[in-house]
Chain A
Amino acid sequence: MHHNFIDAYSHTDSFLCRRDPRAKLFVFSLFILLVLLQPADGMRGLVFYGVLLAVVFIFSRLPLRPIVGRILALLPFVLLTGWSMRAASGGLAVTVIKAVEAMVAVFLMVSTTPFPRLLKALEAMRCPSIVIRMLSFLYRYIYLILDEYMKMRQAQLSRTVGGRLSPGRQAKIFSSILGHLFVRSYEKGERVYLAMCARGYDGTVRVLAYPGFARTAAWADGVFLVISILIMGSVEALCLMPWK
C-alpha cells in the first residue's frame, strides 16, 4: 500500500517548491514568530499577515481542500486552548487567528518541501540531532503503521458478513485493532533498535555533514529571503504607525 500524504504536493512546480528548504524554514519560522508576537490588540498586523499568506498560498499552487481539512481537524484543540487563555491573549478571536495563520504557514512550508530535505535543512540550522532523529523515525514509520492498520481493517471487513455492525460493536473492533497496532508498533520499534545496534549504533546520534543543495538557483533563494524579510519588516512598520 502506498501513502503519500506528507509529500503529496512537494514536487508541485511552483516558486515555493523550488526554493531552498533552509530559506523556507527561516522565512516561515520568522513569519510564525512575528504572528505569535502580535499584541493582544494587534488585529491590524494579523490581517496584513493573513493577506500575505493568501498571496503566497495562491502562488504555491497548492489545493485548498487539504489545508481546510487539516485546519478543521486541529480547530477543536485551538478553540479549547484559546478559550482557556482568552483573558491573557486578548480574546478568543485573536488566539484562533494566530493559530490558524501559524498552521497555514507550517502547511505551506511542509507541503512544498520533500520531508527528507526539510530534515536536512533542520540539520543545517543546528536543530538538536535527537529531534531530527525522532522526526525522521516518525516520517519513516508512520506509513508502515498506517499500512498495518489498513491491512487489519481489510481483514476485518473481509470477515464482516451479515449487514452493518452496531456502533458499539464497531467501537469494540476499532479499539481492538488499535491495541494490536500498538503492540505491533512496539515490537517493530524493538526490532529496528536491534537493526540499529547491528550497524554500530551505541546511543550516540551522529549526523552527516550538510551535503548542500543544488546551487543552480541560489540567487533566487537570496531574492526570496530578502523580499520576504522586507515585506515582513514593512508589515511590522505599518503596524507601529498610528491610524489617522
Chain B
Amino acid sequence: MSYAVEIEHLYFSYPDGTQVLKDLSVAVPEDDSVGLIGPNGAGKTTLLLHLNGILRGEGKIKVFSREICDETLACVRRDVGLVFQDPDTQLFMPTVFDDVAFGPLNMGLPQDEIGRRVHRTLGAVDMEASAERPSHHLSFGEKKRVSVATVLAMSPRLLVLDEPTSNLDPGHRQQLIEILKGVSMTKLIASHDLEMIRVLTRQVILLSGGRIVAYGPTREILSNHQLLKNNGFFLLS
C-alpha cells in the first residue's frame, strides 16, 4: 500500500516549553479520506503544520514517500495543500483572483495556465463571479470557499483542512461539505464537527494530549461514545 503521509516518532515542543506532540506515529494511505478529531489543545493544528514543513519537530515525516527536509520542501508544499482555520489568514491578497493565483504563481506556471486554473477552481467553489472583489468584502462563508479554492488551484495530492466548517451557518456548512465531497484527492480534515467527519471521511484519528488515542474506521470510532467521552467529546443524546 502506498501512503500519502508517514510519521514516525514525532515530538514537538513550542519555544515556551509546551510539549504538544509526543512520540506520534501514524500513516495515512493514499487516496483515503481521514478525519482528525480531538479536544482543544490536543495538537491537531500543530500536527497539520508539520505536514508541509511549516513546523519541524523531532522525528521522521514522509509525504508521498519523500522525507521532509530543506531540499524537498518545495516539492512537499506543491503536494500538500493546507487550508488554515481562519480565512483571514489564508486570504492576504487584495482581490479574490490574486489570492487564488498566489499558489500557482509560486509554482512557476505560465500566466495563461494560472488564469485557467483560477477560473476553474473559483467555478468549482461557486465563486467565479467574485474574482475581482476584495477579500475583505466577502462574507465568512464566501471567504471559507475561496480559501479552499486557493489551495485547489495548486492541484495538490493531499488536501489538509483545519476546522473547515467552524463558525459557518448550516447553509454555508452544507455548501462547503458538498464542495469537499466532490474533491477527489487524499484528504486529512481536522475538526470538532463530527457530523461532517462522518460524511466526509472513511477513517478517523483521535488525538488527545499530543498522542494518538485511536485510529480506525469512522463509523466504529464515532459510535464508541465512551471513547469519545473519555477524550472530551460530550455527545447530546
Contact = CB atoms under 8 A, between A and B. Distances in A.
A26 interface: no
Q: By CB atoms of chain A within 10 A, which of B89, B90, B102 has the most?
A: B89
B136 A195 contact: no
Interface string A111-145: 00011100100000000000000001101110110
B77 A200 contact: yes
Given A2-B137, A144-B136, A191-B84, A199 B94 contact: no
Contacts of A236: none
Interface string A137-158: 1011101100000000000000
Interface stretch (A35-43, A92-100, A163-171, A201-209): A201-209
B135 A140 contact: yes
Interface string B41-84: 00000000100101000000000000000000010011010101
Nearest to A190: B89
Contacts of A202: 74, 106
| Leading 5 A-B pairs by shortest Cβ distance | A200-B106, A199-B103, A116-B94, A198-B82, A191-B89
A197 B111 contact: no
A68 interface: no
A192 interface: yes
B54 A197 contact: yes
Contacts of B126: none
Interface string A172-196: 0000000000000000100110111
B77 A208 contact: no
Contact of A196 (B92, B98, B136): B92
A195 B84 contact: yes
B128 interface: no
B84 A200 contact: no
Contact of B77 (A136, A197, A209): A197
Contact of A195 (B90, B107, B154): B90
B155 interface: no
A144 B88 contact: yes
Given A115-B94, A143-B136, A200 B78 contact: yes
A100 to B, nearest CB: 29
Contact of B105 (A7, A139, A208): A208
A207 B86 CA distance: 25
Q: How large is the interface on A (under 10, 10 to 19, 20 to 34, 35 or more residues)?
A: 20 to 34
A119 B132 CA distance: 13
B215 to A, nearest CB: 25
B101 interface: yes
Interface in A65-118: 114-116
Contacts of B95: 116
Interface of chain B, helix or strand or loop or mixed?
helix
Interface of B: 49, 52, 54, 74, 77-78, 80, 82, 84, 86, 88-95, 98, 101-103, 105-107, 111, 114-115, 132, 134-137, 150-151, 154
B94 A201 contact: no
B129 to A, nearest CB: 16
A200 B151 contact: no
11 contacts: A4-B137, A143-B136, A194-B84, A195-B89, A197-B54, A198-B52, A199-B154, A200-B107, A202-B74, A208-B105, A208-B114
A208 B86 CA distance: 25
A45 to B, nearest CB: 36
Contacts of A196: 92, 102
B173 to A, nearest CB: 22
Given A116-B132, A144-B136, A198 B77 contact: yes
B108 to A, nearest CB: 8
Nearest to A143: B136
Contacts of A7: 134
A137 B134 CA distance: 12
Nearest to B86: A191
A188 B154 contact: no
Contacts of A200: 74, 77-78, 103, 106-107, 154
Contact of A119 (B94, B106, B136): B94
Contacts of A208: 98, 101, 105, 111, 114
Given A115-B94, A139-B94, A194 B77 contact: no
A140 B106 contact: no
Given A4-B137, A199-B151, A208-B111, 7 more contacts: A2-B137, A144-B136, A199-B103, A199-B106, A200-B103, A202-B74, A208-B114
